[in-house]
Structure 1
Amino acid sequence: MRPEIAVLEIQGQFRVYTEFYRSDAAEKTIVMVNGSLATTASFAQTVRNLHPQFNVVLYDQPYAGKSKPHNLHERPLTREMEGQILLELIDHFNAEHIMSFSWGGTAALIALSHRPKRIESAVISSFSPVLNEHMRDYLHRGVKHLGDHNRYEVGHLINNTIGKHLPSLFKRFNYRHVSSLDLHEYDQMHYHISQVLELDPDNYLTAAKNINVPVLFMNGAWDEYTAADDAVLFARYVQNSSFSTIEATGHFLDMEHKAACRDSREALLNFLKPAAETSRPTYTLVQHHAFAC
Structure 2
Amino acid sequence: MKPATAVVNVHGTYKVHTEFHTNPAASKTIILVNGSLSTTASFAQTVKYLGTQFNVVLFDQPYAGRSKAHNRNDHCISKEDEAAILMDLIDHYQAQYLMAFSWGGIASMLALCERPSSLEKAVFASFSPVLNAPMLGYLGRALACLNQQDSDKVGHLVNDTIGKYLPSLFKRYNHKHISSLSHHEYRQMTAHIRQVLRMQAHCHTDRLGRIDIPLLFINGEHDEYTSTTDARLFARHIHDCQFATVDNAGHFIDMEHKGAWLHTQNALLGFLQGSTAGSRRYARYPDLQHAMAV
Equivalence for 1:290: none
Alignment partner of 1:6: what SS? strand
- Structure 1 residues 63-111: Cα deviation after superposition (integer angstroms, max 9, x where no partner): 0000000001111111011001110101111100100000000011011
TM-superposed deviation, 1:11? 2.2
Cα distance between partner residues in 2 of 1:2 and 1:33: 20
- Return 5+ residue gaps in structure 2 as ranges: 276-293
Match in the other structure for 1:239: 239
Aligned with 2:207: secondary structure? helix
- The one-letter code matched in structure 2 to 1:15 is K
Q: Secondary structure at the match of 1:57?
A: strand
How far off is 1:236 after superposition?
1.1
Rate the CA distance shift 1:4–1:233 in 2: closer, same or farther, 3 A.
same
User: Is the 1:109–1:207 Cα contact (8 Å) retained in structure 2?
Assistant: no
Cα deviations across residues 30-69 of structure 1 (Å, max 9, x unaligned)? 0000001100000011001111210000000000000000
> What's the counterpart of residue 92 of structure 1?
92
Q: Provide the C-alpha distance between the structure 2 equivalents of 1:165 and 1:79, rounded to a whole number of angstroms.
A: 28
Mapped partners of 1:187, 1:204: distance in 2: 25
1:61 is matched with: 61
Residue in 2 that maps onto 1:118 = 118
Counterpart CA distance in 2 for 1:21 and 1:232 is 32
1:251-262 correspondence runs (5 A):
251-262=251-262
CA RMSD of aligned residues (A): 1.4
* Cα distance, 1:208 vs structure 2: 2.3
Q: Taking every aligned residue pair, what percent have the same amino acid on both sides?
A: 52
Cα drift, residue 122 of structure 1: 0.1
On the 8 A contact 1:212/1:239 being kept in 2, the answer is: yes
Residue 85 of structure 2 aligns with an amino acid whose one-letter code is I
Preserved contact between residue 147 and residue 186 of structure 1 (Cα < 8 Å): no
Matches within 5 A, 1:1-293: 1-199=1-199, 204-274=204-274
Letter of the 1:248 partner, please give it: N
Deviation per CA, 1:162-200, whole angstroms, max 9, x where unpaired? Answer: 000000000000000000000110111111111111117
Partner amino acid for 1:106?
Answer: I
Q: Using a 3 Å threshold, how does the CA distance of structure 1 residues 15 and 51 change in structure 2: closer, same or farther? A: same
- Once the two structures are TM-superposed, the CA of residue 147 in structure 1 deviates from its matched residue by 1.9
Counterpart amino acid of residue 188 in structure 1: Q
Moved more, 263-272 or 192-201: 192-201
Gaps of 5+ in 1: 276-292
Q: Report the CA distance between 1:238 and its aligned residue.
A: 1.3
Shift of 1:274: 4.0
What amino acid sits opposite 1:112 in the alignment? L
Assess if the C-alpha contact under 8 Å between 2:110 and 2:203 holds in 1: no
Please tell me whether the aligned partners of residues 4 and 19 of structure 1 are also in contact (alpha carbons under 8 angstroms): yes
Distance 1:246 1:176 in 2: 27
**Deviations 1:241-265 (CA, angstroms, capped at 9, x unpaired):** 1100001000001100000000000
CA distance in 2, matches of 1:257, 1:223: 14
Query: Does the CA-based 8 Å contact 2:106-2:203 persist in structure 1?
Result: no
Question: Is 1:124–1:216's contact at 8 Å kept on the other side of the alignment?
Answer: yes
The answer to whether the 8 Å contact 2:106/2:201 transfers is no
Number of residue pairs aligned between Structure 1 and Structure 2: 276
Paired AA for residue 45 in structure 2: Q
Shift of residue 222, structure 1, vs aligned partner: 0.7
Alpha-carbon distance in 2 for matches of 1:54, 1:178: 30
Secondary structure class of the residue paired with 1:206: coil
Cα shift at 1:29: 0.2
For the structure 1 residues 225 and 115, does the alpha-carbon distance in structure 2 shift closer, same or farther, using more than 3 Å as the test?
Answer: same
1:134-169 deviation digits (Å, cap 9, x = unpaired): 000000111111122110110010000000000000
Within 1, Cα distance between the matches of 2:78 and 2:202? 18
Distance 1:203 1:174, change over 3 A: closer
Task: Give the 3-state SS of the residue equivalent to 1:61 in structure 2.
Answer: coil
For residue 95 of structure 2, give the secondary structure of its aligned residue in structure 1: coil
- The aligned residue for residue 279 of structure 1 is none
User: Aligned with 1:158: secondary structure?
Assistant: helix
